[in-house]
Each structure stands twice: as structure tokens, then as C-alpha cells.
Amino acid sequence: MGNIPLLDISTFNDEQLSVWVVAHFEKAFRAKQISEWLWKKNVSSFDEMSNLPSGFIQTLKEHFYIPKIKIAEKQVSSDGSIKYAMQLHDKHWIEMVLIPSKKRSTVCVSSQVGCGLNCRFCATAHVGFSRNLTAYEMYEQVFRANQESMVHFGHPISNIVWMGMGEPLLNYENVMQAIDYITTAKGMGMSKDRITLSSCGIVKGIRQLADDKSKVHLAISLHSAHLEQRSDIMPINKSNPLPALSNALVYYYQKTNQRITIEYLLLNGENDSLEHARLLAIFCKRFPVKINIIEYNPHPYAVFSATNKQQQALFIDYLKNKNLVVNLRLSKGKDIAAACGQLAKKRQA
């Protein structure tokens, strides 16, 4: 094919693939076969597509590539969590975490190469943003995690959380396409009820999620209900301020009838006072919530420290006394830099 670059076959939807197949003198049903090999069976090469004619396989090779993810490194935590450093086809790197708990396992998926939101508490901010992940790259994280869960824990994954590198609502279309393949018969056939998207509060994306009536769960990384302070630690609050975020969450609940999870990272002397707890309680009055209090996890770029246990207990008790549902989420994988806010791999090819 000379210098004509190969195309990423995973970016072709069923209709586009069918048109391409017919244009290259094959029956339209070959498109469905290709799709099944690519997504449902997650093959690594066109040669594995054993029900396709050999000549057609060669034609596919001349036009397309399959953007496989390479697991380059595994780190196992003392608590059983496993962090995967994964190299993409274009030599970028992402991280994925597999987290076991009793007879369940959760995979923490990345949506972008790095992140551009510059949250001051997060190590990923220091990687910077390179690009969005494709639907296939996110789908393959989940597919591979499912295989790894079977090997290491003896059962498939039970839950998927978009809480890895990147902001999923800034990669909305690709995330939704990945979820479509994860939850339908053309892919893994999992329930949407097992999926949680975690966002820093992208108002437009939250409203679109509501309009699309998606059945996935929504978690908001809030971390402060004080307007100026949140803008300081989370610059996204300047363009998506708390009042607009609150209105979007009301809209989301009205459209979906789904309770929202509020994630709140306690930072010593920053957002952990009873006044901060009061502001958080006020923010949470407009819609049903579950609040996850998260311990701060140190990393090489850290400018904060963790709240002490006594202040943490006072903060939680205040919220519970306001009849709010509050859980303390103990971080896993801290010893391998796999916990919340610690993902920051950036390697050269």
C-alpha cells in the first residue's frame, strides 16, 4: 500500500465497517464477523479471525491495524491490589488498577493519557494531558482486567469504576461507546449497574449523561464545598463553579432518579474543619447522596498531608448527625502508588 498509513479498525462502527467490506468485494456479513473477533473475542491479530477467507485477511492487514494494549508491568500490593502499567500502540502509557475485596473485584479504568485539569492533590496532574483514549482502549482495559481477575482471584470482575487517569466526561463519546460494548451482547454483556463514572464536575457532561438517561452511576469528586477554595485546589471549578454543578446534579437526579455519590478527600488543615463539613452538608441537601470520605494518599508531588484520625472522625460524625449517608473509604494499593490520586506513570518508548 506504499506510504498510505494503516487505519485503526476499532474506530469503524458497524455501518462504516459494512460499507468498507462491501466496497472491497466481500459479503456484508463479514463486518459482523470482524466486529465479533475484535470486541467479543478481543483478538490480537487478523490472522486469528479464522472464519474469514485468507485473501480477505490479507486485505485487512493492508488497510488496518488493531490497537492492542501491552501490559508492560504488574505491581502487587500487600493488600492484593494489582497495578498495571500499560503501553498503548503509539507508545503512550496509562495505568489500570485491579482491586479485590472478598469475592468481588473492581477495575479502576483510565479514560485519558494523563489529565489536564491540574487538581493540586492529584499526581496525574503532573503527567499532563496527551490525548483521549479510544473506546477500544478503554474496553480492552476492562476485558484484560476480567482475564486478570480470573487468573489471580478465580472470578470475573464485579465492578468497573472510571476513576483512573483522566476526566471521563471530557471524553464523553468514547466512554459511552466503550460502555455500550461492555454492557451489550456484542461485547462483554455486563450490567450498567456495575459501572461508576467519576467526574470532577463537568456540568455539560453531567447534563448530557442525564439527557441520555444512562444507567451508570455518577460520582462527583467534590473535595470542597467552599467556592474560592475549590477553585484553588481544583481549577475546573472556575469554569464549572459549584452553583452550576449543583444545578446540574439536581437536573441529573430529576432525569435519572439515581442517587449521586460525592467523593471528598480530606486534606489536613485545608478542607477538614467542621465549617467545611457544614458547607458540604448544605451542598448535599438538594439531591439524594452517598458521601465517600477518602483518605489523602501521599505521592512525590504532594503539597498536602492527610487529616488525622481524630479530625476525620469529627468531620464524619458531623455529617452523620445531619442524617447523611457517609462511608470512610480506606485506600488500597498505597504501597505501590495505586491508590486514589497516585497514578502518574509517564514513560518514554
Report the predicted TM-score, pTM, of the whole model to 2 decimal places.
0.93
Q: Which of 272, 336, 346 is nearest to 309 (CA)?
A: 272
Of the candidates 276, 241, 239, 283, the one whose C-alpha atom is nearest the C-alpha of residue 260 is 283
pLDDT level of residue 300 (50, 70, 90 thresholds) = confident
Query: What pLDDT is stored for residue 332 in this prediction?
Result: 67
Q: Which pLDDT does position 336 carry in this prediction?
A: 59
Say if residues 60 and 24 touch (Cβ distance below 8 Å).
no
Span 144-189, pLDDT tens digits: 999 999 999 999 999 999 999 999 999 999 999 999 999 999 999 9
Measured distance between the N- and C-terminal CA atoms of the chain, rounded to whole angstroms: 26
Sign of the CA dihedral running 109, 112, 115, 116: negative
DSSP codes of every residue in 213-276: T--SEEEEE-----HHHHHHH-THHHHS-HHHHHHHHHHHHHHH--PEEEEEEEBTTTS-SHHH
CATH number, span 70-336: 3.20.20.70
Question: What pLDDT is stored for residue 70 in this prediction?
Answer: 96
What 3-state class would DSSP assign to 196? Answer: strand
Does the pLDDT at position 349 exceed 70? no
Q: Which DSSP state fits 161? A: E
From the candidates 26, 95, 148, 263, give the one annotated as an active-site residue: 95
pLDDT digits (tens, 9 = 90+) for 190-240: 999 999 999 999 999 999 999 999 899 999 999 999 999 999 999 999 999
pLDDT 10s digits, 3-60: 689 999 999 999 999 999 999 999 999 999 999 999 999 999 999 999 999 999 999 9
- Quick one: pLDDT at residue 348? 39
SS3 content of the chain, % helix, strand, coil (to 5): 40, 20, 40
Domain range list for the chain: 7-65, 70-336
275 is catalytic: no
Angle at 300 between CA 294 and CA 304, to 5 degrees: 45
Q: Tell me, what's the pLDDT at 45?
A: 97
- Is residue 69 pLDDT above 70, yes or no? yes
pLDDT of residue 333: 58
Q: What CATH number matches the domain at 7-65, 3.40.50.300, 1.10.150.530, 3.10.20.600, 3.40.50.1370? A: 1.10.150.530
DSSP-H helix ranges across 64-202:
135-153, 172-183
DSSP state, 117? Answer: S
Distance in angstroms (rounded) separating the CA atoms of residues 315 and 293: 9
95 has catalytic annotation? yes
The stretch 287-300 carries a mean pLDDT of: 90
In tens, the pLDDT along 87-134 reads 999 999 999 999 998 889 999 999 999 999 999 998 888 889 999 999
